[in-house]
Amino acid sequence: MQIRALLPTVIVIVTQLVGQVSAQGQTPARGNASVVNPANPAGAGRGRGFGAAANSRPPSDPAQVERGKALYGVRCTFCHGADARGGEGGPNLVRSGLVLNDIKGESIAPVLQNGRPEMGMPKFDFTSAQIADIASFLHTFKAAGRDPARNPPPNILVGDAKAGQAYFNAKCASCHSVTGDLKGLASKISDPKTLQQTWLMPGGGRGGSTVVNVPPKTVTVTVSPAQKFEGRLERIDDFIVTLVDAGGTSRTFIRNGLIPAVEVHDPLRPHKDLLSVYTDKDIHNVTAYLATIK
């Protein structure tokens, strides 16, 4: 009698246990599963992998892409290449984590505005709108699958050689001559891309060509009206400046604000100053002109 009296209770308990085990062992329907990060309980970024931002970007505005292309062509091509896959000094941007996970320029903005001095990248004075334009252009390149960007870039000799000659005479002829230091330039540098890189940033370094030998930076340190030291610049920062004089002696001076007076002579300064002035059209025109100097 006692066993029969307990059977209903036992059946109820067993039924409840089976139900709990079944519920725990069920696999949620696909599409309903979610993983909540305690640090992000709202689930932002759920299922977001490397480069997943590309799936949530709004459609590109063609006008914005064109503006970004123009800015990139003038300020970035010499370092990162026309196809954004790396120049002579800059890294591949197509597979950059910053670019892949960027939506409207928010990821690349700090790098552009602050630069990466330790890697030789300068900072730029782009506005937020300009950064968004550049980001929009970079997002047109695909990092995986059938990627048209992997094809070699089109022929860059698409400019007007006569317009390029006029620009050269106005901006470059005071320092260079096609019958002097640039005589036969296109015969020495037959590749149009290398030719363009050479005149944009000669002498090697980040984004520059090593075809042309450029004198090193020099510096003049004025300790007093009667004491001036000149030589090849070895190092300079806010605290010291080091030079090697004509006799091969290394000299280091401690800097305290503007004392001693320091004047750096950079042979490439005119080229660097013009990088922010050129338009994409100017670059193509000058390249087309220099390609005729054989």
Give DSSP secondary structure letters for the chain. -HHHHHHHHHHHHHHHHHHHHHHHHPPPPTT-----BTTBTT-TTTT--TTGGGGGPPPPPHHHHHHHHHHHHHHTHHHH-TTSS--SSSPPSTT-HHHHT-SSSTTTHHHHHH-BGGGTBPP----HHHHHHHHHHHTTS-SSSS-GGGSPPPPS--S-HHHHHHHHHHHTTTT--TTTTTTTHHHH---HHHHHHHHHSBTSSTT-BSSS--PPPEEEEEEETTEEEEEEEEEE-SSEEEEE-TTS-EEEEE-BTTBSEEEEE-TTHHHHHHTTT--HHHHHHHHHHHTT--
Residues 178 and 258 in one domain: no
- Please give the distance of CA 84 from its chain centroid, rounded to a whole number: 8
pLDDT band at 250 (very low <50, low <70, confident <90, very high): very high
- Per-residue pLDDT of 208-237, as tens digits, reads 455 667 788 999 999 999 999 999 999 988
- Per-residue pLDDT of 159-172, as tens digits, reads 999 999 999 999 99
Residues 281 and 174 in one domain: yes
Give DSSP secondary structure letters for 42-105. T-TTTT--TTGGGGGPPPPPHHHHHHHHHHHHHHTHHHH-TTSS--SSSPPSTT-HHHHT-SSS
Residues 167 and 281 in one domain: yes
Mean pLDDT on 52-56: 59
Can you tell me the distance from the alpha carbon of 239 to that of 139, in angstroms, rounded to the nearest whole number? 42
Residues 87 and 103 in one domain: yes
Task: Calculate ∠ Cα 239-249-260, nearest 5°.
Answer: 30
- Whole domain around residue 72: which residue ranges? 54-144
Domain boundary among 144, 169, 189: 144
Q: Does residue 231 or residue 26 have the better pLDDT?
A: 231
Residues 251 and 130 in one domain: no
- Please give the distance of CA 140 from its chain centroid, rounded to a whole number: 16
Residue 202 pLDDT: 78
Residue 203 pLDDT: 67
Mean pLDDT on 246-261: 94
Residue 146 pLDDT: 45
Mean pLDDT on 81-97: 73
Q: Does residue 156 or residue 114 have the better pLDDT?
A: 114
Residue 125 in any domain: the answer is yes
Question: Of 104-118, 191-205, 252-266, which one has max mean pLDDT?
Answer: 252-266
The whole-model pTM stands at: 0.49
Residues 140 and 202 in one domain: no
Residues 280 and 169 in one domain: yes
Residues 176 and 222 in one domain: no
Of 30-34, 54-58, 134-138, 232-236, the range with the lowest mean pLDDT is 30-34
Burial profile 143-158: b = 16 or more Cβ within 10 angstroms, e = fewer: beeeeeeeeeeeebee
Question: Of 17-21, 67-71, 98-102, which one has max mean pLDDT?
Answer: 67-71
Tell me the two tokens of residue 202: 């000669």
Residues 79 and 116 in one domain: yes
Report the domain count for the chain.
3
Can you tell me the distance from the alpha carbon of 91 to that of 96, in angstroms, rounded to the nearest whole number? 8
pLDDT band at 153 (very low <50, low <70, confident <90, very high): low
- Residue 235's DSSP bridge partners are 242
Domain boundary among 144, 178, 197: 144
Residues 184 and 70 in one domain: no
pLDDT band at 54 (very low <50, low <70, confident <90, very high): low
Residue 4 in any domain: the answer is no
Q: Does residue 174 or residue 24 have the better pLDDT?
A: 174
Q: Per-residue pLDDT for 239 more than 50?
A: yes
Q: Per-residue pLDDT for 174 more than 50?
A: yes
pLDDT band at 121 (very low <50, low <70, confident <90, very high): confident
Residue 42 in any domain: the answer is no
- Per-residue pLDDT of 261-288, as tens digits, reads 999 998 888 887 887 788 888 988 999 9
- Residue 162: phi and psi, rounded to 5, are -65, -40
Residues 165 and 276 in one domain: yes
Residues 277 and 243 in one domain: no
Tell me the two tokens of residue 114: 């602050």
Can you tell me the distance from the alpha carbon of 34 to that of 47, in angstroms, rounded to the nearest whole number? 8
**CATH number, domain with residue 129:** 1.10.760.10
HSE value, Cβ hemisphere, 13 Å, CA-based, for 175: 9
